[in-house]
Amino acid sequence: MSDAGTGAVAAAELVRRAEKLDAGDPLAGKRSSFVLDGTVYLDGNSLGALPVGVPARVADVIAREWGELRIRSWDESGWWTAPERIGDRIAPLVGAAPGQIVVGDSTSVNVFKAMVGAARMAGPGRDEILVDATTFPTDGYIARSAARLTGRTVRAVRPEDVPDALSGRTAAVLLNHVDYRTGRLYDLPGLTAAVRAAGAVSVWDLCHSAGALPVGLDEHGVDLAVGCTYKYLNGGPGSPAYLYVSRARQDAFDSPLPGWTSHTDPFGMRGTYEPAPGAVRGRVGTPDILSMLALEAALDVWDGVSLADVRAKSLALGDFFLECVAAYVPDGRVECVTPRAHGERGSQVALRCGGAEAVMRELISRGVVGDFRHPDVLRFGLTPLYVGFGDVERAARVLAVVLEGVGGEVGVG
């Protein structure tokens, strides 16, 4: 883009393209289900925007259900059954039949339940746990803790190397559906089949895929899965995570966190733990109602949404964003580390960039919100329910201006 005039023509053309794409977007109407402003918000893969229905629902939960009904709400307002009820609301978004998902606790705690549970499901002599070497750190820490506590060892392998690493020693494999840094999508069907063929137990972390693309847990025979709800599911900051235990694995699921709320007779207050059947077995303590019911309200935005539309728009947004970046940003200033192939891409675009931390600060100050990931990655999350093509065009244009401003620092740092 050495010539300013040519650049202006290209920009005008891309703006027109964006308008046309937005006009033809079947999900465009969903944007009004969220509280948005003039900001280009490309950080929904970290914290989803606020759905408009949440404030009134939470106000009612506090003022009426807690303030007036108080303790009666455990029954009368359905608080007690919220973990499995909301689990069943998430189920269709990840391709699960009802009765297999329970909501509660943080993702980390659910990874722990899943990994100890998986290790205990594995047959004798299976003393090794495989963990995605590129994982979000907590998953690795927790997998190591689960291994230490159950007498297993941990080996970190790249997801693409898992098939070769599997053996008769493999107890369980913890994988990320989408890499939190690069946005790379891994082959859940193929890797799950390989894990199963090796006689091991598969555990998938869906934090960066649920709500952004079809997952197909039941269809692909996943054993266990966990995910957060505050990214593409828009549940709010630190909203409760979920645990999926497939129907086939439920009876063998032996949780390291056996709480009274997963007891077959919770109000019997019995001294001996007898786990309830089904998804309820994944519960532990008293459910965190305010956050949980905020999440429930947030899930209303999915009514009538086709995940195929979501996926198609997500990929189109990524393609168009990369096209705009290529048009606006001088060669060599950024390097895309997100795969271009649709089959290998989640719902974010990650750009390596010299001085990335300062660049992201400047982008945010100019109303384009993504985030920085150590050491040199700019992350731009594409949330199809409320991000438009005009947003990503503007993001690329502002990025080019910012990079111009930071000047000499060319190349990837």
Residues tagged active-site: 136, 205, 230-231, 379
Per-residue buried b or exposed e for 101-116, using 16+ beta carbons within 10 Å of the residue's own CB = bbbbbebbbbbbbbbb
Tell whether the torsion through CA atoms of 315, 180, 166 and 114 is positive or negative.
negative
Nearest Cα to 169, choosing from 119, 115, 116, 125? Answer: 125
> CB of 101: closest distance to a second copy in angstroms?
18
Residue with tokens 């939960």: 61
Complex with a second copy: residue 186 or 386, whichever CB lies closer: 386
State which residue, 149 or 326, has the beta carbon closest to a second copy: 149
Query: Angle at Cα 23 formed by Cα 18 and Cα 28, nearest 5°?
Result: 100
The residue among 246 and 261 lying less far from a second copy, judged by its C-beta, is 261
Only one residue has tokens 């390989």, namely: 194
Residue placing its CB nearer to a second copy in the complex, 46 or 192: 46
Indicate the DSSP class of residue 252: T
Nearer to a second copy, 148 or 247 (CB): 148
Give the side-chain half-sphere CA count within 13 A for 279: 25
Secondary structure element (H or E) that encloses residue 401, with its range: helix 389-406
**The pair of three-digit structure tokens given for residue 397, joined into one six-digit string:** 């244009």
For the CB of residue 79, give the shortest distance to a second copy in the complex, in Å: 6
State the nearest-atom distance from the C-beta of 1 to a second copy, in Å: 30
Q: How far is the CB of 258 from a second copy (least distance, A)?
A: 4
CB of 34 to a second copy, least distance (A): 9
Residues whose CB is less than 8 angstroms from the CB of residue 71 and which lie 6 or more positions away in sequence, other chains included: none
- Region of 151 on the Ramachandran plot (φ > 0 left; ψ -120 to 50 alpha; else beta): left
Distance CA 154, CA 114 (A): 15
